[in-house]
């Protein structure tokens, strides 16, 4: 096992990784920007290195400075967390070339999944159902029109180098597609430095269901079941739950097996997530995430597996210590993402934390790097806490979540706690009856 791991991240996920390391007897190195010198992830780590000024491009994304930090501290491995460099293939390659272990997939797999067209193709080969669409990228309007005849309108134009919803355009008919394709190509070039776009059948009312897998370097893969992440606003997840409500046991078992088989087929060797759109009883693969995700704790709550510890263990070459047959879903878990934002306008609300009280009790977990007196800097993601609640049933989980939200206090800044308090009283949420459009309609964006 590693003796020392460098954590190339900040905030709650840096803390989460630190906690796993400590429990495994691993010492930790934090990196930080100048404005994060007093951050909790720096305070808790065994060692820390300042890697640059506040802008992430010059600190948390500064590969050379991070590799230097790993070198001077004698770290053996680097955990990237999520965001920042987590899905940057060239960073993963540099980490390995410098003799460190990248705690994540190899650079080639990151690159493969970063190309949404190549990712879909590899999934088709691996037996995963994908959204029907163009066979590869469409180079111009004519080939797009030809492809759309097979796909059927409305179609969605997506950037091959995109993901996370950036640069998508719906076209209801041929005329709309004639306009959408050049526009989407321009935007893709500007945003991702790659103009390639492809078409998919537009699904009008899907749910976003994702399957968590965990694989080792010895060919073992397990599915840790699924999460429903349909409650999103502007492609930012707000509340997630596991397992997905209203998903029958046979569909769950089938999609879990599909993802296990596909992981083995592509040579996957770490934690990963298969993202699907689920509509009218059918799963359609859209993307694979090759990182530990923000919402991983709900999977931990229903399986009892420490995903971050397992990710570190398999990166060190250890075999998974359990098999699929050892796993079963225990109860239900929900995560509320609490952001430093106005709960009505969603405008940012950085500033000094005057009070911080976290709820506790059975089945309640708070992952947060906040403390009383800490100042939330304006430079980074607004996620400041994750309230994660477990219950033996979905109803018990919701009752516990309502109670925990009443107890939680984050003073001095605005947060999205009041939004979550409203959400847990909504009939559609109580019934688990929502799709990817529900939240945006609810908050009045559309
Ligand atoms: C789609 C779709 C409908 N049809 N693809 C947005 C994020 C990116 N990961 C994929 N996205 C979508 N792809 C087809 N063929 C609708 C969305 C989508 C969405 C997906 C998941 C969660 C929230 C969403 C909000 C708007 C659109």
Helices (H), 285-416: 296-303, 307-315, 394-407
- Residue with CA nearest ligand 1 atom 13: 165
SS3 281: coil
Question: What value does the mean pLDDT take over residues 166-171?
Answer: 89
**Per-residue pLDDT tens over the stretch 385-426:** 999 999 999 999 999 999 999 999 999 999 999 999 999 999
Q: Strands 27-33 and 47-52, how do they pair?
A: parallel
**Which of 208, 240, 442 is the best mutation target for the ligand 1 pocket, counting ligand atoms within 8 Å of the beta carbon and taking the most?**
208
Task: Return all residues near 405 (Cβ < 8 A) that are at least 6 apart.
Answer: 336, 359, 387, 417, 420, 421, 424
Report CA(202)–ligand 1 centroid distance (Å).
Answer: 9
pLDDT of 226 above 80: yes
Give the model's pLDDT for residue 446: 52
User: Tell me, what's the pLDDT at 130?
Assistant: 98
CA of 165 to the centre of ligand 1 (A): 6
Cite the DSSP H helix spans in 126-218: 141-151, 174-192
Measure Cα distances from 384 to 11, 79, 129, 373 in Å: 7, 20, 36, 14
Q: What is the DSSP string of 57-78?
A: GGTTT-HHHHHHHHHHHT-SEE
Cβ atoms of residues 275 and 285 within 8 Å:
yes
Catalytic residue selected from 291, 337, 365, 394: 291
Confidence band of 163 (pLDDT split at 50, 70, 90): confident
Binding site membership of 235 for ligand 1 (Cβ less than 6 Å): yes
pLDDT confidence of residue 162: 85
Q: Is the C-beta atom of 203 inside 6 A of ligand 1?
A: yes
Over 90: is that where the pLDDT of 164 sits?
Answer: no
Other C-beta atoms within 10 Å of 320: how many?
19
What distance in angstroms lies between residue 159's CA and the mean position of ligand 1's atoms?
12
Sign of the alpha-carbon torsion through 5, 272, 297, 51: positive
Percent of the residues in the chain that have a pLDDT greater than 70, as a whole number: 100
Model confidence at 445, in pLDDT bands (50, 70, 90)? low
Residue with CA nearest ligand 1 atom 16: 203
Decide: 439 in ligand 1 pocket, CB within 6 A. no
At 316, is the pLDDT very low, low, confident or very high (cuts 50, 70, 90)?
Answer: very high
Task: Specify the 3-state DSSP secondary structure of 361.
Answer: coil
* Mean per-residue pLDDT of the chain: 97
Tokens at 374, concatenated: 């800490």
Average pLDDT over residues 300-310: 98
Decide whether any atom of ligand 1 lies within 6 Å of the 232 Cβ. yes
pLDDT value at position 166?
A: 76
Per-residue pLDDT tens over the stretch 8-60: 999 999 999 999 999 999 999 999 999 999 999 999 999 999 999 999 999 99
Q: How many CB atoms lie within 10 A of CB 211?
A: 28
Which atom belonging to ligand 1 lies closest to the Cα atom of 204? 3
Report d(CA 343, CA 92) in Å as an integer.
Answer: 37
Would you call 291 a catalytic residue per the annotation? yes
């Amino acid at each position: 096992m590693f003796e020392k791991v460098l954590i190339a991240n900040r905030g709650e996920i840096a803390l989460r990784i630190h906690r796993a390391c400590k429990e495994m007897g691993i010492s930790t190195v934090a990196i930080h920007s100048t404005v994060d010198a007093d951050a909790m992830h720096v305070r808790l780590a065994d060692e820390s290195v300042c890697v640059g000024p506040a802008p992430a491009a010059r600190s948390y994304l500064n590969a050379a400075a991070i590799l230097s930090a790993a070198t001077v501290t004698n770290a053996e491995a680097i955990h990237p967390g999520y965001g920042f460099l987590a899905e940057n293939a060239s960073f993963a390659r540099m980490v390995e070339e410098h003799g460190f272990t990248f705690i994540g997939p190899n650079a080639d797999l990151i690159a493969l999944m970063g190309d949404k067209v190549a990712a879909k193709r590899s999934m088709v080969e691996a037996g995963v159902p994908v959204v029907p669409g163009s066979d590869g990228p469409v180079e111009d309007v004519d080939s797009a029109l030809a492809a759309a005849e097979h796909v059927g309108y409305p179609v969605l134009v997506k950037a091959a180098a995109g993901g996370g919803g950036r640069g998508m355009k719906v076209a209801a008919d041929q005329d709309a597609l004639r306009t959408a394709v050049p526009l989407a190509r321009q935007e893709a070039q500007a945003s991702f430095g790659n103009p390639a776009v492809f078409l998919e059948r537009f699904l009008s009312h899907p749910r976003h269901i994702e399957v968590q897998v965990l694989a080792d370097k010895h060919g073992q893969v397990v599915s840790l079941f699924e999460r429903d992440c349909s409650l999103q606003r502007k492609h930012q997840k707000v509340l997630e739950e596991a397992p997905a409500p209203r998903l029958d046991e046979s569909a769950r078992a089938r999609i879990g097996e599909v993802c296990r088989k596909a992981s083995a087929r592509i040579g996957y060797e770490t934690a990963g997530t298969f993202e699907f759109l689920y509509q009218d009883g059918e799963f359609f693969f859209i993307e694979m995430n090759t990182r530990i995700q923000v919402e991983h704790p709900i999977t931990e709550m229903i399986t009892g597996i420490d995903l971050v510890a397992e990710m570190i263990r398999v990166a060190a070459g250890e075999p998974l210590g359990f098999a699929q047959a050892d796993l079963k879903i225990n109860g239900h878990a929900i995560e509320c993402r609490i952001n430093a934002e106005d709960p009505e306008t969603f405008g940012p609300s950085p500033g000094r934390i005057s009070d911080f009280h976290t709820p506790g009790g059975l089945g309640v977990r708070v992952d947060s790097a906040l403390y009383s007196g800490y100042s939330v800097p304006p430079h980074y993601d607004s996620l400041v806490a994750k309230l994660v609640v477990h219950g033996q049933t979905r109803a018990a989980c919701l009752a516990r979540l309502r109670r925990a939200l009443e107890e939680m206090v984050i003073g001095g800044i605005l947060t999205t706690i009041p939004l979550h308090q409203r959400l847990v009283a909504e009939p559609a949420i109580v019934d688990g009856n929502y799709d990817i459009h529900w939240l945006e309609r609810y908050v009045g964006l559309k």
